[in-house]
Amino acid sequence: MSGTLPGRIRNALNMLGELTDTPGCDIGLHTTHLYNSVFRFDDQMIVTPYLIRARGYQHPALHLRKLSPHGIFTSFAEQFEQIWGSATHYPEGLSRELTA
């Protein structure tokens, strides 16, 4: 795997690594191409949409809460659940390509 993505993934896993021992916390890896990051916490989530020509720290972080069974939270939650169903759980599924 080339480019900056493997390094960004390794960095995120290093920062989240200690959470793997936290009850109720699960980290998963997937291969779906996304244009945002989604961090889900029950009925709240942080969504970071990617902006063209912006660096990571320049992307907005949207704090979404579930206030009804419809709306933007539900749309992101449905996408999250679909992708999560195909995720490989970390640390068991850490790809050798990322550790090289």
CA within 13 Å, CB half, 54:
12
Hey, how many other C-beta atoms are within 10 angstroms of the C-beta on 64?
19
Res 3 pLDDT > 70? no
Q: Which pLDDT value is given to residue 95?
A: 47
* Model confidence pLDDT, tens digit, residues 26-58: 888 888 888 888 888 999 999 999 888 888 789
Q: Which pLDDT value is given to residue 31?
A: 87
Residues 6+ apart with CB under 8 A from 98: 1, 6, 9, 10, 13
User: Quick one: which of 23, 42, 24, 53 has its CA closest to 80?
Assistant: 42
Q: Which pLDDT value is given to residue 100?
A: 46
Tell me the domain boundaries of the chain. Answer: 5-99
CB 83 within 8 A of CB 30: yes
Residue 55 backbone phi and psi in degrees, to 5: -85, 160
Hey, how many other C-beta atoms are within 10 angstroms of the C-beta on 73?
19
* Model confidence pLDDT, tens digit, residues 46-93: 999 988 888 878 999 999 999 999 999 999 999 989 999 999 888 765
